[in-house]
Amino acid sequence: NAGVTQTPKFRILKIGQSMTLQCTQDMNHNYMYWYRQDPGMGLKLIYYSVGAGITDKGEVPNGYNVSRSTTEDFPLRLELAAPSQTSVYFCASRSGPSPTDTQYFGPGTRLTVL
């Protein structure tokens, strides 16, 4: 199993550009998450999904969009990139909502907006 994979690993964007961060998991997990982590801070939830076709906002959704057309993929779209979106983005998956279900994280995408 590859687990959770994310692409790209690094990206530099200019202000106003758009991009999609890719996330794929091969564990057949229903729940998927996108977090961002600013330097020295904890993870903040951007969006989450409880299954294909179902997504919802987390704590910091502004400036982002998601879709979940398959169980495996959960791409994060940045429209009109701003310097405030410079961060490390982590995708995670989890089999379900049970309090014993653990999260599995990808390696992250480091994004810089100049």
Partner 1 sequence: DAKTTQPNSMESNEEEPVHLPCNHSTISGTDYIHWYRQLPSQGPEYVIHGLTSNVNNRMASLAIAEDRKSSTLILHRATLRDAAVYYCIPVSGTYKYIFGTGTRLKVLA
Q: At its nearest, how many Å lie between partner 1 and the CB of residue 16?
A: 28
Residues 69, 98: Cα–Cα separation, whole Å: 23
Stretch binding partner 1 (CB under 8 A), from 11-19, 20-28, 38-46, 77-85? 38-46
Please tell me whether residue 64 binds partner 1 under the rule CB under 8 A.
no
Q: If you write DSSP's letter for every residue of 45-82 in order, what string do you get?
A: EEEEEEETTEEEE-S--TTEEE--SSSSB--EEE-S--
Please tell me whether residue 48 binds partner 1 under the rule CB under 8 A.
yes
CB 81 within 8 A of CB 14: yes
User: 17 or 30: whose CB is closer to partner 1?
Assistant: 30
Please tell me whether residue 1 binds partner 1 under the rule CB under 8 A.
no
Assigned token pair, 46: 């951007």
Please tell me whether residue 90 binds partner 1 under the rule CB under 8 A.
yes
